[in-house]
Chain A
Amino acid sequence: MKTQFDTILEGQKQVWDFWTDATKKIGEAFKVTEKSDVPNEGVNPFAEWTKIHSKIAQEWADLYAKTGEKLDAEKLRSNAQSPINAAMDNWTKWIEESEEWIRESLKTLMPLTQQLHYQNFTDLYNDLYKYWEPMRKMMEMGIYRWEGIDRFFSPKAHQDIVSKFVGFMPPTDVNEIIKQATEAFENFLKWGQKGFDFNPDWTNFNSFYRSGLEVNQAVRQGLDSWFNIAGQGKEVEIARAIKDIQLGYAAFLLKTTELQSMVLKAGQFALPDTLEQFYETFLKSKELPNYEDFFAKYTNNLEGYLIEVLHSDNYSKLQSEVAKTGIQVKAKLDKLVELLFSGLPFLMSSHADEIGKETAALRKKIRQLEARLAKLEKPNGVSNSASAKKTTAKKSK
């Protein structure tokens, strides 16, 4: 039998549904997809609306909760909560979509390198948040040693997080990477020896490549010898260079792994420390931090441990070795490209170096001549104007 109380609830539910729907529509109205969408008055009306109605919502929920103590509490609370949850979902959706717009718009205002750093931070922040609930539990229950932590937060996940903090690309399975790299180099060697030959498989997904293959094959048949990019003698040199790069790259991977492991090992203490610090605070105040406070503290603790290892002799030497091996691989790759294109009329870096050497020698010569001229001019009282190069360039702001 329908009671008076049920009637009240139904009425209230209709109001809640209407209000939830209104929230959704208002959120849609203020959703920003392009800069031109932003209303002249900004989006403050939505903020104001939110302010007023969130207070109403909270008071309503409080009223239900208090009334529920006297009436059917469970039925009341569950009925009161679901409209609030629906409204919250709309607000959350608006916030998430707006934050996405903000992130993407900010990136367009940043240089490319900074966009990558910003994206890395966003990924880090979101990835760590996935473990927030378990970490709250750990702080509450006093789990702050790795034996307990790793049930919720695996060493691999920890490695990924710390790597994102520092900006590393995690080495993962080095043996697998070396194996893949070796295969790639072997394939490249075979490809180089064949000359530039379109892989027929490419044509399957792009008609442009299909046309390119046909043209290539027709020209090859007519001018076959022109497509021997590397001369006979150079093939051996190219093969040797590729093998050299392969070994160098493997050495670079191993050294990089060693360096990153050193940093990750040092950083492993930061998470337990952070959890322990908040647990101790919880014991006194019964208050747990929010995610932002946790993130800030973890960042500070991690930096402390990292700086310690960065100052060590071992790190400094290893960092230098990693830089050296990596740069040497790059240098060998540059040399390989020059070998591959040596028969073609392209200006290579080594040609630019010859020009640079000449320029440097000329600069030195001019300086010497200017100095001699200055000495000669001085006794005659002539001003030293040899090096003045005025410009008629326009004013720049």
Chain B
Amino acid sequence: MSQTPLAEQLVEKVNTVSEAIRNISEIEAIDIATTPKEVVWEDGKVKLYHFTRETPPLAKTPVVVSYALVNRWEMMDLQPNRSFIRKLLSEGLDVYMIDWGYATRLDRYKTMEDYILGNIHDCIDFVCQKHKVDQINLLGVCQGGTFSLIYAALFPERIKNLVTLVTPVDFDNDEGLLFRWARDMDVDAVVDGFGGIVPGDFLNTGFDLLKPMNKTRKYFNLPQTMRKKDQLLNFLRMEKWVADSPDQAGEAYRRFIKDMYQENKLIKGTFKLDGMTVDLKKITMPVLTIYAREDHIVPPATTKPINDLIGSKDKELLEFPGGHIGVFVGGRSQKLLTPAIAQWLIERD
């Protein structure tokens, strides 16, 4: 407990306020995803970005990143000094990012087939042609990782190496609140009631409740955060990213909730895409599965089974000592995780 004399408390208070005023006054704009890139392919709202490299890559095989539909990929490039993307580039990889865009009412009938057999397939086609290769490295993040597993099982010949990052595969889990709540959700009522487009704010309300006091804590700590300009900037960047939650195409959302969260079809081997059964044993290329030890959004128990379900001989489970967001923006991600991913891919190039 604080027993600082009144005078010291007062001075501390004035210092806190003074520094906050100075730091806030120096901030003009909040920029995220500042790593230079260009749009090399697009189809409707979906774009494929190619990040600019200053030097030739160390690995010939390019990496295509498939992020989740929920939230935005910019989490992987939130701040310049802790950018997951920049680190992959500096470690010698050639990186592409699929940007899903922002779904509108016109996308209400867009299906998982459209995303996986359409957009992901087309992006991979493009990259293969551009680099004159037959295969690429696929890095799937969270739900994007589940999509990547499905794609790799259906088209193993297109994937040289597969990396899944905090990716759920076994949805029969009570530890994660999201998994618990999704099982009771009347997803038809939700999708149809919202007119086929599930608002991003609806999803954010659920995410906020997973750790109900996190919002309170971050604002409670704000006076200290404001004393350092770089901390304040990072706080504001995160606020910008959190609020940028795209709406979800209804049919894809409906299917994902029903077939994954409610019926756990993927792990049972009964999930079909456009009539094709997805058999995870058909995944035979090298696979690196990364999970975050303190992940409350995708608990480790939902990710670890990947290692047992796939047919690959060269496979590895990597535990990251942090949470779901920490894998992208934490200092340990820069020091431990991204170099490990890059090294793993370069060794198998």
The interface residues of chain A lying within 8 Å CB-to-CB of B177 are 310-311
Decide: B109 and A114 in contact? CB cutoff 8 A. no
- Is A393 an interface residue, CB under 8 A from the partner? yes
Please, which residues of chain A bring their CB within 8 A of the CB of B113?
A: 364, 367
A274 to chain B, nearest CB (A): 13
Q: Which of A88, A303, A363 contacts B211 (CB 8 A)?
A: A303
**Which of chain A's residues have a CB closer than 8 A to the CB of B219?**
117-118, 121-122
A124 and B22 CA atoms in complex are apart in Å by: 26
A63 CB to nearest chain B CB (Å): 14
A156–B126 Cα distance when bound, in Å, is 62
On whether the beta carbons of B194 and A331 are closer than 8 Å, the reply is: yes
Are the CB atoms of A311 and B180 closer together than 8 Å?
yes
Contacts of A296 in B (CB 8 A): 220
Cα-based distance from A356 to B193 in the complex (angstroms): 17
A266 to chain B, nearest CB (A): 11
Contact, CB under 8 Å: B21 / A38: yes
Shortest Cβ distance from A29 into chain B, in angstroms?
A: 13
Over the window 65-103 of chain B, the binary record of Cβ atoms lying under 8 Å from chain A Cβ atoms (1 yes, 0 no) is: 000000000000000000000000000000000000000
A-B contact count (CB 8 A): 236
A4 within 8 A of B: no
Question: Are A385 and B186 touching (Cβ within 8 A)?
Answer: no
Complex Cα gap A364–B109 (Å): 11
The distance in angstroms between the C-alpha atoms of A32 and B25, with both chains bound, is: 10
Of A95, A295, A331, A394, the residue contacting B14 (CB under 8 A) is: A95
Please, how many angstroms separate the alpha-carbon atoms of A266 and B296 in the complex? 21
Between B196, B208, B213, the greatest number of chain A beta carbons within 10 A of the residue's beta carbon is seen for B213
Give the residue of B52, B118, B184, B243 whose beta carbon is less than 8 angstroms from that of A114: B243
User: Is A199 at the interface (CB under 8 A from chain B)?
Assistant: no
Binds A, one of B30-38, B137-145, B278-286, B303-311: B30-38
Cα separation A300 to B211 with both chains bound (whole Å)? 11
Bound-complex Cα distance A220 to B281 (A): 72
Within 8 A of B (CB), among A334-382: 334, 349, 352-353, 355-357, 359-360, 363-364, 367
User: Could you say which of B3-11, B163-171, B333-341 contacts chain A?
Assistant: B3-11
Could you say which of A72-80, A174-182, A206-214, A320-328 contacts chain B?
A: A320-328
A193 at the interface (CB under 8 A from B): no
Contact, CB under 8 Å: B244 / A111: yes
Interface residues of A in 30-66 (CB under 8 A from B): 32, 35, 38, 42-44, 46-47, 50-51, 54-55, 57-58
Interface: A167 (CB within 8 A): yes
Whether the Cβ atoms of B6 and A58 lie closer than 8 Å is: yes
Q: Say yes or no: is A317 at the interface (Cβ < 8 Å to chain B).
A: yes
User: Does A183 sit within 8 A of B, measured CB to CB?
Assistant: no
A334: chain B residues within 8 A (beta carbon) = 195
User: Which of B39-47, B287-295, B312-320, B321-329 is the contact stretch?
Assistant: B39-47
Q: Check A300 against B213 for contact (C-beta < 8 Å).
A: yes
On chain A, the number of residues with a Cβ less than 8 Å from chain B's Cβ atoms is 92
Q: Residue B267 at the A interface, CB < 8 A?
A: no
Quick check: is A215 within 8 A (CB to CB) of the other chain? no
Chain B residue nearest to A335 (CB atoms) is B195
CB B174 to nearest CB in A, in angstroms, measures 8
What 0/1 readout, one digit per residue, does chain A (275-314) give for beta carbons within 8 Å of chain B?
0000001000101111011011001101100110011000
CB distance from B245 to the nearest CB of A (A): 9
A390/B41 contact (C-beta < 8 A), A42-B18, A47-B11 known: yes
Question: Is A15 among interface residues, defined by CB-CB distance under 8 A?
Answer: no
Q: Which residues of B contact A323 (CB under 8 A)?
A: 185-186, 189-190, 202
Partner of B36, one of A42, A167, A397: A397
Q: Give Cα A38–Cα B23 distance, bound, in whole angstroms.
A: 10
Most-contacted residue by chain B among A51, A95, A307, A360 (CB, 10 A): A360
Nearest-CB residue, chain A, relative to B33: A397
Pairwise interchain contact B24-A114, C-beta atoms closer than 8 A: no
Question: Which B residues lie within 8 Å of A311 (CB)?
Answer: 174, 177, 180
The answer to whether the Cβ of A391 comes within 8 Å of any Cβ in the partner chain is: yes
Of all chain B residues, the one with the shortest Cβ separation from A364 is: B113
CB-defined contacts of A390 to chain B, threshold 8 Å: 40-41, 126
**Which residue of B37, B194, B201 contacts A395 across the interface (Cβ within 8 Å)?**
B37
**Quick one: which of B43, B202, B240 contacts A389, CB cutoff 8 A?**
B43
Determine whether the beta carbon of B14 is less than 8 Å from that of A46: yes
**Structural contact, B181 and A330, CB atoms closer than 8 A:** no
Q: Write the chain A residue with the least CB distance to B10.
A: A54
Report how far A395 CA is from B53 CA in the complex, Å: 13
A352 with B105: CB separation less than 8 A: yes
B301 beta carbon closer than 8 Å to chain A? no
Specify the chain B residue showing the minimal Cβ separation from A361. B109
Q: How far is the CA of A355 from the CA of B2 in the complex (A)?
A: 64
Given A91-B10, A166-B212, A303-B213, 11 additional A-B pairs, CB 8 A? A38-B22, A50-B10, A106-B24, A287-B3, A299-B220, A311-B174, A320-B184, A327-B189, A327-B194, A388-B126, A389-B122
Question: Nearest 7 CB-CB pairs, A to B?
Answer: A327-B193, A111-B243, A360-B109, A42-B22, A393-B39, A121-B219, A303-B213
Q: Interface on B for A, CB 8 Å cutoff?
A: 1-3, 5-7, 10-11, 13-15, 17-22, 24-25, 27, 30, 34, 36-43, 49, 52, 105-111, 113-114, 117-118, 121-122, 125-126, 129, 174, 177, 180-181, 183-186, 189-190, 192-196, 201-202, 204, 208-209, 211-213, 215-217, 219-220, 222, 226, 236, 239-240, 242-244, 251, 274
15 pairs, A vs B, C-beta closer than 8 Å: A43-B22, A44-B22, A47-B14, A113-B201, A293-B2, A303-B213, A323-B202, A353-B108, A356-B105, A363-B110, A388-B41, A388-B129, A390-B126, A393-B42, A394-B39
